[in-house]
Amino acid sequence: MDTFDEDTVKVPFGSKYLDAALCFPASLTDVHTAVILTHGAGGDMNSKHLVSLAQALAADGSLCLRFTCKGLNLGYRVKAYRAVWEYLKSLQKFTIRHIFVGGKQFCLLLSVFAQVLFEGMIKEMKGQVEVFWLKGGNHGLTVKGRSEDSVLDEVNSHVITWLSKQGK
């Protein structure tokens, strides 16, 4: 599968709406896996890495809803994710069985020491967690000496492979 469609949608959020884009396989209506993505501080749903991942996921057979979340407050962001989650569950066109959430939430430059601490924290989490460390990558997903597209292809491939292992 290599084609997808994209619709601009408005997700109800209290008395307002969240701007969102729904990317889905063009020829497949029996989609069972959805991924919700948003950006980090200062970005929006049209950040190149989010658009690239959404399109790759849709081309692979998943539904992807990326949205703009203006608030930086964690409580606000959690409520926004919840609204998007509810919106996805209400879609009649698809039979969604699995919903995954992700995005570029925290821009961290991790030293080796910080990486060890971070990995220790992950071991204490109760949910299933996997971290993909992009070798030589910085918080902007750039790697010196590599094209942006090659980096995005690597990240997209890793996410798609991970989803496949989850029984997508």
pLDDT at res. 39? 75
For each of the domains in the chain, give its residue range(s) and CATH number, in order of start. 4-165 (3.40.50.1820)
**What's the CA gap between 120 and 117, in Å, rounded?**
5
Amino acid making up residue 18: L
Local structure of residue 143 (DSSP, 8 states): B
Q: Which two three-digit tokens encode residue 47?
A: 């950040």
In order along the chain (168 residues), what is the average pLDDT of each group of 10 residues? 85 93 84 84 80 93 90 78 90 85 55 62 69 75 89 91 84
What count of other Cβ atoms lies within 10 Å of the Cβ of residue 15? 5
CA distance to 45, 49, 95, 114, 129, per residue, from 59 (Å): 18, 15, 17, 35, 24
pLDDT at res. 101? 80
| Closest C-alpha among 118, 156, 165, 116 to residue 134 | 156
102 and 37 Cβ atoms separated by less than 8 Å:
yes
Indicate the SS3 state at residue 148. Answer: helix
pLDDT at res. 150? 93
**What's the CA gap between 47 and 66, in Å, rounded?**
10
pLDDT at res. 69? 83
pTM for this one?
Answer: 0.80
Local structure of residue 93 (DSSP, 8 states): S
Phi, psi of 124 (to 5 degrees): -85, -10
pLDDT at res. 20? 94
CA distance to 51, 70, 160, 166, per residue, from 108 (Å): 21, 19, 23, 26
Phi, psi of 151 (to 5 degrees): -65, -45
